[in-house]
Structure 1
Amino acid sequence: MSSADERELKEQRLGPVVRRRGQMQPGTADQRLLDSSGPSDFVHQDPWRVMRIQSEFVDGFGALAEVGPAISVFGSARTREGTPEYTAGVALGRALAEAGYAVLTGGGPGAMEAANRGASEAGGVSVGLGIELPFEQGLNSYVDLGVNFRYFFVRKTCFVKYSQGFVVLPGGLGTLDELFEALTLVQTRKVTRFPIVLYGTEYWEGLLGWLRNTVAKEGKIAPGDLDLLELTDDVDEAVSLLTT
Structure 2
Amino acid sequence: MAGVQPNSESPAPRPRRDDDREIESLEEFDQVVAAGSLAGHRVQSVDLTDRTFALLSTDTTEAVFLGCRMEPDAAAKIRAGGALVFPPIPGLPFDPYRGSLYAPEELFAGLIDDGYDATPDARAYHWYQRTKSDGDIFTSMLRSIHDDAVSDALDELLDGARVVGVMGGHALERGSASYAGAARLGRRLARNGLTVATGGGPGAMEAANLGAYAAPFDDDMLDAALEVLAKAPHFAPSVTDWARAAFDVRRSRLGGGASVGIPTWFYGHEPPNAFATHIAKYFVNAVREDGLLARCNAGVVFLPGAAGTVQEIFDNATPNYYGSRGEPTPMVLVNRAHWTAKLPAWPLLRSLAADRAMESRIALVDAVDEVPEALARLTNGKAS
Deviation at 1:114, TM superposition (A): 0.8
Decide whether the 8 Å contact of 2:169 with 2:204 is kept in 1: yes
Deviation at 1:205, TM superposition (A): 1.5
In structure 2, distance between residues paired with 1:43 and 1:154? 19
SS in structure 2 opposite 1:190? coil
How does 1:92-107 map onto structure 2 within 5 Å? 92-107=185-200
In structure 1, distance between residues paired with 2:175 and 2:194? 25
TM-score, normalised relative to structure 2: 0.47
Deviation at 1:82, TM superposition (A): 2.5
Structure with greater proportional strand content: 1
Decide whether the 8 Å contact of 1:56 with 1:154 is kept in 2: no
Deviation at 1:222, TM superposition (A): 6.3
Alignment CA distance shift 1:187-1:92 (3 Å): same
Alignment CA distance shift 1:105-1:84 (3 Å): same
Query: Counterpart of 1:62?
Result: 156
Deviation at 1:154, TM superposition (A): 2.4
> Does 2:288 match 1:176?
no
Query: Counterpart of 1:74?
Result: 167
In structure 2, distance between residues paired with 1:232 and 1:140? 27
Name structure 1 gaps, 5 residues minimum. Answer: 1-29
SS in structure 2 opposite 1:130? coil
Structure 1 or 2, whichever has the larger Rg, is 1
SS in structure 2 opposite 1:231? strand
Deviation at 1:117, TM superposition (A): 0.8
Give the AA of the match of 1:211.
L
In structure 2, distance between residues paired with 1:158 and 1:44? 22
In structure 2, distance between residues paired with 1:50 and 1:235? 37
In structure 2, distance between residues paired with 1:211 and 1:172? 16
Query: Counterpart of 1:13?
Result: none
Identify which of 119, 133, 136 aligns with 2:266.
133
Decide whether the 8 Å contact of 1:85 with 1:169 is kept in 2: no
Query: Counterpart of 1:188?
Result: 322
SS in structure 2 opposite 1:108? coil
Identify which of 224, 235, 244 aligns with 2:368.
235
Deviation at 1:108, TM superposition (A): 0.8
Query: Counterpart of 1:204?
Result: 339
* Total equivalences in the alignment: 201
Deviation at 1:211, TM superposition (A): 2.4
Give the AA of the match of 1:74.
M
TM-superposition CA deviations, 1:111-146 (whole Å, max 9, x none):
011111111111332211111135434221211111
SS in structure 2 opposite 1:118? helix
Decide whether the 8 Å contact of 2:335 with 2:366 is kept in 1: yes
Decide whether the 8 Å contact of 1:108 with 1:136 is kept in 2: no
Decide whether the 8 Å contact of 1:60 with 1:158 is kept in 2: no
Query: Counterpart of 1:20?
Result: none
Alignment CA distance shift 1:208-1:158 (3 Å): closer
Identity percentage of aligned residues: 29
Q: Could you tell which deviates more after superposition, 137-146 or 69-78? A: 137-146
TM-superposition CA deviations, 1:58-81 (whole Å, max 9, x none):
233233336x21100000000012
Decide whether the 8 Å contact of 2:151 with 2:280 is kept in 1: no
TM-superposition CA deviations, 1:128-185 (whole Å, max 9, x none):
1111135434221211111111112322343234312100000111111111011111
Alignment CA distance shift 1:238-1:210 (3 Å): closer
Alignment CA distance shift 1:58-1:77 (3 Å): same
Give the AA of the match of 2:348.
L
Give the AA of the match of 2:303.
L
In structure 2, distance between residues paired with 1:181 and 1:134? 18
Query: Counterpart of 1:27?
Result: none
Give the AA of the match of 1:63.
L
Alignment CA distance shift 1:92-1:222 (3 Å): closer
Decide whether the 8 Å contact of 2:259 with 2:277 is kept in 1: yes
Query: Counterpart of 1:11?
Result: none
Query: Counterpart of 1:26?
Result: none
Aligned-CA RMSD value: 3.0
> Does 2:43 match 1:43?
no
Identify which of 94, 113, 117 aligns with 2:210.
117
